[in-house]
Structure 1
Amino acid sequence: MSKHDSGGKGRRRHEEHEEEEHENHERWLVSFADMMTLLTAVFIVLYSISQVDQLKFAAFAEGLSESFGAPTSIIDDGSVTTQTSVLDQLNSPMQIDNQTDPTQKPDQAAQDAARADALAEQSAQNQAEAQAQFDQLAAAQAAITAALTAAGDADAATYQITEEGLVVHVVADQVLFGPEQADLRGEGKTVLDAIAPTLAGLPNALKVEGHTNSLPVTPGGPYASNWDLSAARAVNVLRYLVETDGLAADRMQAAGFADTRPLLPATDPASVSVNRRVDIVVLSTASAEASALLPGLASQAATQAVTAQNQESTP
């Protein structure tokens, strides 16, 4: 075979080689056009069904409302009104009591409400009991004051209403006892005789407390300490009230406190005479909760008395 022939066959093979197919980059337009056509059809359908026949809609609404038990009213112009239906009641917001935590269970809320009511009732009972006890103690104080005034010893005692009850502070200095003495003076007996009738008429238990000032007793004296002196004074007052004035012994108790419960601090010069005293305590018969309210009632009464006195003195 000649070179010429081999060259001709090479050209034919080259001419017979097929050219690559051209890629169409615009095929997405077909899909996009189809999608737009479908969307247009959907909007047309939605628009057409939105034009509802009023009579058919009224009949449909009436049938639906009757199914849920709600009466329906149809107005002449084709509009429909219905009363509250089951669906409306389910969809309507629930009104919640502001005083109840919505996170609580019904049983817990009921228990909390019952507990709050019980506490309020107990508080009211304590207040009423305290007021009744205060009125009794205040009346006793007024009676003792009047008796001491009639006996010419109005300045022999001061008063205080505490949680314990009515405390009658009888000044020991130059009234009940002599210095470092526990024997009752004649003037002291007069003071106790004036107080005793009011104390005898009360149902309350009584406590007699002896107190001294902070000065130490004289070494070698009749009493070894202020404890002994204060206790002896309390016992002697108790015995006089029982044996001479006729108070029931089973209502009485005595205690000595030395200088541990002063009315005035030791730095006050008046403490030497004021802290030397015997306290006769008319013990409260109220409950502990009600007795705790007595100081507050006493403070209110004192404020009201001062206000009334100022009003009377104002021209």
Structure 2
Amino acid sequence: MAEEQAPQEQKKEKKKSCPAGAPMWMVTYSDMVTLLLTFFVLLLSMASMDPVRFTQASNSLQDAFGMHKQPSQLEFTLPILPSPPQTKFTPVQQEMTTKIHERLKAQLEMKNMNDDVDVVQKDSDTIILRVNESLLFKPGQSQVPPTAYPLLRNIADIIRPLPMKLLVEGHTDDVKVSQNPIGNWDLSMARAVSVMRFFKQGDLLDMERISAIGFGPDQPLVPNRDEASRAKNRRVDFVLRLDRLPDDTKQGSTRNTHVPL
């Protein structure tokens, strides 16, 4: 039995073995490719090359096979947005602002308020009613005391009929507030909002016309050199502005700067 199995195992081993060396057709094919390469190199060496055509042909091959040395760069063209229409005030509007300024001065004098409120015409469309801090707030406090109610009501009565918008600005000096945990900027903002809230609760002015902002010590009237100059910088400004409308059309959108109450 062992002798019969030995020949069968040898036959199986002969079937698994592969002949050594490459197939004959592969050798012939390699020789042919080598000869063709030699032939084209010979033609290339004998031909007169046109540099321009050679570059064009080389670039065409690179484009065809995606062999760019550098990735292609995309060019973006940013659209040029038109600038917003500029505000221009007619001489009639400028004259109106001047007349309102004169009218405010006369009303303050008639109400004996000219010592408490300063009227400043800033430019052709802006008038400022300037009130010192001591008349509206206690030191370091942001709540409007009852003693300031009559003054604020009189200011509202003066502003109400005017065709202008109101921005309440709070300002402080450069001394840190020790009686209040909030900083000067927060204090100025809180005071402006308190004035705005007083107008709202008393239904004294149209709230669509009012906004509030606080500047802290960033916009002093005079340098903070001594107590007198610092007292002058602690103030509330009632900034009145004519509606800013372009010449031909109204602005499409406006930013809402109202402070929620």
Deviation at 1:129, TM superposition (A): 3.1
Instruction: Decide which structure has greater helix share.
Output: 1
TM-score, structure 1 as length reference: 0.46
Specify the alignment match of 2:207 in structure 1.
249
What displacement does 1:190 show? 1.4
Matched, 1:262 2:220: yes
Matched with 1:225 is: 183
Correspondence for 1:130: 94
- Following superposition, the deviation at residue 224 of structure 1 comes to 2.2
CA distance in 2, matches of 1:181, 1:129: 39
Aligned equivalents of 2:160, 2:96: Cα separation in 1: 20
1:213 corresponds to: 173
CA contact (8 A) 1:130 1:286 kept: no
Q: Is the 8 A contact 1:264 1:271 kept in 2?
A: yes
For 1:91-131, what per-residue CA distance to the aligned partner results, in whole angstroms no more than 9, with x for missing partners? xxxxxxxxxxxxxxxxxxxxxxxxxxxxxxxx9x8334312
1:155 is paired with a residue whose SS is: coil
Q: 1:162 aligns with which of 122, 130, 148?
A: 122
Do the aligned partners of residues 216 and 222 (structure 1) sit closer, same or farther apart at CA in structure 2, a change above 3 Å counting? closer
Distance 1:233 1:283, change over 3 A: same
- How far the C-alpha of 1:240 sits from its partner, in A, is 0.7
Cα 1:193–1:275, aligned 2, differ >3 Å: closer, same or farther? same
Distance in 2, matches of 1:268 and 1:210, equals 20
Q: Secondary structure at the match of 2:168?
A: strand
Tell me the C-alpha RMSD between the 2 structures: 2.3
Residue 204 (str. 1) matches residue 164 (str. 2): yes
Unaligned 5+ segments in structure 2 are: 1-87, 248-261
Tell me the TM-score normalised to structure 2 length.
Answer: 0.55
CA distance in 2, matches of 1:129, 1:286: 11
Match of 1:271 among 229, 236, 247: 229
Counterpart of 1:140 in structure 2 is 104
Cα offsets for 1:9-35 (capped at 9, x unmatched): xxxxxxxxxxxxxxxxxxxxxxxxxxx
Which entry has the higher C-alpha Rg, 1 or 2? 1
How far residue 247 of structure 1 moved from its aligned partner, in angstroms, is 0.6
Q: Write the distance in 1 (CA, Å) between the matches of 2:246 and 2:150.
A: 34
Q: Indicate conservation of the 8 Å contact 1:141/1:166, yes or no.
A: no
Give the letter aligned to residue 243 of structure 1: Q
Partner of 2:155 in structure 1?
A: 195
CA–CA distance in 1 between the matches of 2:163 and 2:93? Answer: 16
The number of residue pairs the alignment matches comes to 159
Query: Per the alignment, in what secondary structure is the counterpart of residue 150 of structure 2?
Result: helix
Q: Aligned-pair distance for 1:268?
A: 4.5
Partner SS for 1:241 = helix
Contact 2:143 2:191 in 1 (8 A): yes
CA change 1:222–1:268 in 2 (3 A) is closer
Provide the C-alpha distance between the structure 1 equivalents of 2:97 and 2:119, rounded to a whole number of angstroms. Answer: 16
User: Is the Cα contact below 8 Å between 1:264 and 1:270 reproduced in 2?
Assistant: no
**Unmatched 5+ stretches in structure 1:** 1-122, 290-315
Q: 1:286 to 1:127 in 2, by over 3 A?
A: farther
Distance 1:145 1:254 in 2: 27
Instruction: Check 1:168–1:161 CA distance in 2 against 1; reply closer, same or farther (3 A cut).
Output: same
The question of whether the paired residues in 1 share the 8 Å contact of 2:153 and 2:204 is answered with: no
